[in-house]
Structure 1
Amino acid sequence: MAAVAENGNADPRKSALIFLGTGCSSAVPNALCLIQPSDPPCPVCSQSLILPPEKNPNYRCNTSLLIDYCASDGKHKYILIDVGKTFREQVLRWFPFHKIPQVDSIILTHEHADAVLGLDDIRAVQPFSPTNDIDPTPIYLSQHSMESVAVKFPYLAQKKLKVGQEIRRVAQLDWKIIENDNTKPFVASGLRFVPLPVMHGEDYVCLGFFFGERYKVAYLSDISRFLPPTETFISKDGDQQLDLLILDTLYKNGSHNTHFCFPQTLDAVKRICPKRALLIGMTHEFDHHKDNEFLKDWSEREGIPVQLAQDGLRVPVDL
């Protein structure tokens, strides 16, 4: 599947989902596979030295989704979910490719490094002003994430300069607190989102998001266990059937304490029964072509089309 497999001639009157990153926190290729190669070398990571990333679906940046939302007036808004360690690379690779001119709002799933450490680079996609005289970008996050981000990036979280403090050019962000509650939706750049709290390890709640009215999407990038209200909300046997489920899958086999792995992911897909699913968050254990061949057979047996997503994939939707 090439990066533009679902792109074709992009319809300017339609919304689209653009996968800026589909990899785990450490991204793919795995650095150790390159600096301490095995014999034989890792087949997935060694490709990164041969193929350019745009032709290599096994090259994966930190998980991130950009929603190109076309409102009823025909104007486009660009909503970014998560801003991880590889954000600048994703901007350089995919914003020109997909003609993305700006980021209108940001949503954070949680405050781990692979979701927030690119926040400083948001200034690169904002209008230039050495005195920060620009409209700030709205950014939606939980109270816990806000407290953590304020420690990591105090200069981005502060509301005004201290006495005698020099003006420095930094990203301008308008922080907006959202609840870990799927009964309390919020609106970002004209699009309604429902928070989907899930467990990301038994000591940590992470947010996924439901959005779309005509085409219903659930995005769950970091999950080890569903909370019952969230699973009910997005299940065919619950409130509604999803048109698209975007779901975490870290390793090929076994289990992990903070993420779904392939067996748990496929079990969840069968329970939720979306019309379609795309998988994200993969390590170098996944070979895009081989595992999508496996998933093709699995999809035919189960009646639910499932594939691994890839960086740069653009999926036209009617939100």
Structure 2
Amino acid sequence: MEPSQATAERLTRDEIDLYDRQIRLWGMAAQARMRSAKVLLIGLGSLGTEICKNVVLCGLGHLTILDDTVVQEEDLGSQFFIGSEDVGSLKLESAKARIQDLNPRVHLSFDTQSIESKDADFYKGFDLVIGTELNTSQMVKLNELTRKYNIPIYLAGSNGLFAYIFVDLIQFDAEDEKLKGSQPTEKGQISTNTEVTEVKTRTDEDDDKKVFEVINTRHHYKSFQQMIKTASLEGRLNRRQIKRLSSAVPLTLALLRAEHEIGQLNFLTLKEKAVETCRQLGVPETVLNDTYVEQFTKQEGVQFAPVSAIVGGAIAQDVINILGKRQPPLSNFIVFDGITLDMPIFEF
């Protein structure tokens, strides 16, 4: 029996009917791999809520949510699993019934302990970890553990109109397909962290004039700590690209590099740290816009539902891609600018 056939048989007829539209998009084998995956989601804030909704609806097999926070008044405007009657209650206890109603086929676990209470063995059983709204030291420690056990991780956070995604899949092999052009794809290094390992061709069954390239790529990733220490754009951007570079990029990295509590950085301190980050990135200080510095100072750690919907959707889609092993993943740092609506991807 072919592997894809054996995998497909693990899906019930009800599941095939339920997920018919997405199976047509990414295939039966990819859907079955998602069904068997065990994912840990840390944090059920605004971002976590969006990610949770998307992966549960797509037919993920097992999802554990870790969150020890209590519902606050300010949560009500950005999180749709809770209501005003839940203020003062544990967020997971309030949200669990609504999450279960989204898709009863998904095996859900709700853990109301803190991330600090978990030892290394807790993470062993997961195929993927998603951490949201954590501080820098928590993300560094968490990424060290996921690397120890060879587990892919997504880390994400928001600062009002701005947000970021960090991806560490350690090493990931992907397969993609495109129409063959006049210049065939060649094997070899195509960027700092990505190489083409194999290229095959296939002819369309219904039109023999259509020839597709099936491209296998290998992606190498840095840890979160390596990324914030060594991130550089020197020599990689032309004048036009530098001029278009959002202030949100050095400001986001400046916040991640600074060990501080939310609200400790004032305008001058944040700008000073952002200037240092510009030097590390190899971009001129003129990239920094004082309006952005002021926005970051006021909005650090603030969660806006529209921003969370965009960023949470992007993470969920990439999680689906890597679990299904269908398309090249994000690599490896993304910044969302809610003012310009730009969302560039940087390979650091």
Q: TM-score, normalised by structure 2?
A: 0.30
Q: TM-score, normalised by structure 1?
A: 0.33
